[in-house]
Amino acid sequence: MAVLRDLTVDAAVPDTATFGEAVEALTRTDAAVVAIVDADRRVVGLLDERQLLRGLFPAYLGELKHTAFADDDVESIRERRVRAAAQPIRELMAEPVTVEADASLTHVAERFMHCALEGLAVVEGGRYKGVIDLDVFVRAIRDE
Amino acid sequence: MTVLAILAFAGVLAVVAFDWLHRTKAALVGAGVVVIAGVFGIDEAITAVDWETLGLLVGMMIIVGLTERTGIFTYLALRVAQLSRGRPFRLVFLLAGTTGVLSAFLDNLTAILLVVPITLLLADSLDVDPIPLVMTEILASNIGGTATLIGDPPNIMIGSHVRELSFVDFIVNLGPVSLVTLVLGTGLVYLFFRGKLDVDPARAREVAALDPAEDVRGRPHVKRSIAILLGTIVGFFLHTPLGLEPAVVALAGATLLLVVAADDIEEALERVEWGTIFFFIGLFVLVGALESRGVIERIAEGVNAITGDSVGGQSIGILWIAALGSAAVDNIPFTAAMIPVVDELQAGEDFNDAQWWALALGACFGGNATMIAAAANVAAVGVLERTGHAISFVRFLVIGVPVTLLSLVIATIYLLLFQV
């Protein structure tokens, strides 16, 4: 049976990082989620691709439910991308969802079912240990 | 025990005003204290809750929540913005008018939550600062909500409490003054911001090319949801000849909509803002405690001492006291406390509607002064903050206070000329 520790990879940036630096870490590590950690190595937020959208598109999209009529303004999407890159990651990260490194796979599955993130942070005694991707977790269980 | 009842109510007001604790938690703690301490019993506490107000609120929350899913309100807001053709004067007045009307027939909080997000998209598309437009909408929602029994929580409370006042009475007595105030208040906001609303004609043409109907097409239950919303509004107009209370009309509409347009009952009932409902329950209990200890009677005597015995003096006094109280705290608890005061002032006298209109005008217009004065303001400021357009308390005051003063002057003249 897969063990949570074996499925964990390292993908973290400090909470002083910019949105651009966090996105760079997301791309570099190839993980589905990057943990944002404070000076004490506690996870204070997460960034996944859904959250990345919040940086690339206007924040009011999150408040709207009807946008089928909306048009694309390629130029302003580009401008927003440049602006967002310099924004502190703390302003754009999601609330952290964490599991302990010795958590059962059942508990991890339950956590994934109840959150909208593509990955979770793994902690030991409350300190950052790594992240686990939803697709890695699902593949590990499926291939058992 | 009397001191405890006063301290509990004043404590909740302070906590709400300074945002130390969520208002619902504060009201429930206060209500719990007065019941547990024995200021009055659980039976009296249950009797103190105005279930009609809660029924009207819950019914409207379900109707509006389910109708909102159809996208019809977004369609309306966008269509209206297109009519402005990018001219700032038209844009401001059309958005104010739409928000005012939506606020009158839905409620001001809902109206704000419907129009502000689409306004942010519009402002982005037109490349203008969204704050002038959103400020216009906040002020318009509080003024428009004043016009009807269901438009603003203070009116819902008054309309549910005072059986003599019908939905039509509210429109006849508060509609015209609200309309005049909406036009003049919007004019003032426009003068304040006009330099910031220049629209690039090319951007305006892009907005004009959008098809707002795209979101409504293909959504389920559109026609039946709109029909039931409109039917409920007609029901409000006819509630007196039908012999039905407004709460019954709202709950009947909500039930019908749940039956024909809600595929998932649990999801549909999530549209009820339970936080607001429990806030009201806590407040009713707190005010009931004040009433049972004779505090309200003494406040009424105090009002009488300041304003004199005349209906005119009392009405003007109620208007300004309610406006000041609402501005400083929140117009919902203030109205909850003022309703029994007006009851007390009218005890032993013939029924007089002028004082109720004064309370409605004061509480609703007072809601424009500060960002915490009305639930709609708090919600709109929250959306602005979340979307990177935070507005400070003082900046709100700079616009809110002049509009409030203007509206109170209009209300004073109106009461003196037409009501007393």
Residues within 8 A of A (CB atoms), B 35-94 only: 68-69, 71, 74-75, 78
**A-chain residues near B215 (CB < 8 A):** 66-69
ipTM (interface predicted TM):
0.77
User: Is A95 in CB contact (< 8 Å) with chain B?
Assistant: no
CB contact under 8 Å between B74 and A70, yes or no, is no
Tokens, residue A7: 């499925």
Look at B387 and A60 and tell me if their CB atoms are within 8 Å.
yes
The answer to whether residue B212 neighbours chain A at the CB level (below 8 Å) is: yes
Is B202 an interface residue toward A (CB < 8 Å)?
Answer: no
Write down the pLDDT at residue A131.
96
CB contact under 8 A, B386 and A62: yes
Give the position of tokens 């109840």: A114
Q: Which residue of A has its CA nearest to B118?
A: A64
Report d(CA B313, CA A60) in Å as an integer. Answer: 47
Among A63, A73, A76, whose Cβ lies nearest the Cβ of B117? A63
**How close is the nearest chain A Cα to the Cα of B111, in Å?**
14
Neighbours of B239 (CB within 10 A): 21
- Give chain B positions within 8 Å (CB) of A58: 120-121, 124, 387
Structural tokens at position B388: 């990177």
Q: Closest approach of chain B CAs to the CA of A93, in angstroms?
A: 13
Note which residues in 29-48 of chain A have CB less than 8 A from chain B: none
Tens-place pLDDT, residues B252-308: 999 999 999 998 999 999 989 898 899 999 999 998 999 888 888 888 888 888 887
Flag if A58 and B387 touch (Cβ within 8 Å). Answer: yes
The confidence band for A5, taking pLDDT boundaries of 50, 70 and 90, is: confident
**B11: helix, coil or strand?**
helix
pLDDT score for A2: 64
What DSSP state is assigned to residue B308?
A: -
With CA atoms as reference, report the closest residue to B132 among B375, B411, B403: B403
Report residue B231 as tokens. Answer: 């039917």
Quick check: B387 and A63 CB within 8 A? yes
Per-residue pLDDT of chain B (420 residues; tens, 9 = 90+): 889 999 999 999 888 878 888 889 999 999 999 999 998 889 999 999 999 989 999 999 999 999 988 989 889 988 988 998 888 899 999 999 999 999 999 888 889 988 999 999 999 888 899 999 999 999 999 999 999 999 999 999 999 999 999 999 999 999 999 999 999 999 999 999 988 888 888 888 888 888 888 888 878 899 999 999 999 999 999 999 999 999 999 999 999 999 999 989 999 999 898 988 999 999 999 989 998 888 888 888 888 888 877 888 889 999 999 999 888 878 888 899 899 999 988 887 888 899 999 999 999 999 999 988 888 998 899 899 888 898 988 999 999 999 999 999 999 999 999 887
Strands A127-133 and A119-124: antiparallel
Q: Does A62 touch chain B (CB under 8 A)?
A: yes
State how far the alpha carbon of B380 is from the alpha carbons of A78, B137, B174, in Å.
Answer: 28, 9, 24
Q: Between A and B, how many CB-CB pairs are < 8 A?
A: 54
Range of the domain at A128: 4-142
Give the dihedral sign, CA B21/B23/B29/B30.
positive
| DSSP result, chain A | ---HHHH-B--EEETT-BHHHHHHHHHHH--SEEEEE-TTS-EEEEEEHHHHHHHHS-GGGGG-S--TT----HHHHHHHHHHHHTSBGGGTPBPP-EEETT--HHHHHHHHHT---SEEEEEETTEEEEEEEHHHHHHHHHT-
Is B195 exposed, middle or buried (CB count within 10 Å of its CB: 0-12, 13-18, 19+)? Answer: exposed
What CATH number did the domain enclosing A133 receive? 3.10.580.10
Q: For B5-63, how does the pLDDT look when each residue is reduced to its tens digit (9 = 90+)?
A: 999 999 998 888 788 888 899 999 999 999 999 988 899 999 999 999 899 999 999 99
User: Does the structure show a pLDDT above 70 at A48?
Assistant: yes
Tell me, yes or no, if A60 comes closer than 8 A to chain B by beta carbon.
yes
Number of domains in chain A: 1
Residues linked to residue A98 through DSSP beta bridges, in sequence order: A121
- Please judge whether A58 and B78 are an interchain contact, meaning their C-beta atoms are less than 8 angstroms apart: no
Say if the Cβ atoms of A69 and B210 lie within 8 Å.
Answer: yes
Which residue in A63, A64, A68 is closest to B214 by CB distance? A68
Report chain A residues whose CB lies below 8 A from the CB of B78. Answer: 69
Q: Are B124 and A59 a contacting pair at CB < 8 A?
A: no
At residue B410's C-alpha, the angle toward residues B408 and B412, to 5°, is 65
Half-sphere exposure of B176 (CA within 13 A, CB side): 8
Chosen for mutation from B80, B121, B271 (greatest number of chain A CBs closer than 10 Å) is B121
Among A58, A63, A68, beta carbon nearest to B215: A68
- The distance of A109 to chain B (nearest Cα, Å) reads 24
Locate B405 and state its tokens. Answer: 């003063």
Min Cα separation B80/chain A (Å): 15
Q: What is the pLDDT, as a whole number, of residue A1?
A: 61
Instruction: Tell me the C-alpha distance between B298 and B140, whole Å.
Output: 35
Query: Do B74 and A73 lie within an 8 Å CB cutoff?
Result: no
Tokens (6 digits) for B328: 């400083």
Whole-number pLDDT of residue B182: 97
Residue B215 C-alpha, separation from nearest chain A C-alpha, in angstroms: 5
Long-range CB contacts (< 8 A, 24+ apart) of B7-12?
A: B8/B33, B8/B34, B8/B39, B8/B286, B8/B289, B9/B286, B9/B287, B9/B289, B9/B290, B9/B333, B9/B337, B12/B282, B12/B283, B12/B286, B12/B333
The answer to whether the Cβ–Cβ distance between B215 and A58 falls below 8 Å is no
Residue B74 contacts residue B115 (beta carbons within 8 Å): no
What span, in angstroms and rounded, lies between the C-alpha atoms of B334 and B338?
6
Q: Identity (one letter) of the amino acid at A9?
A: V
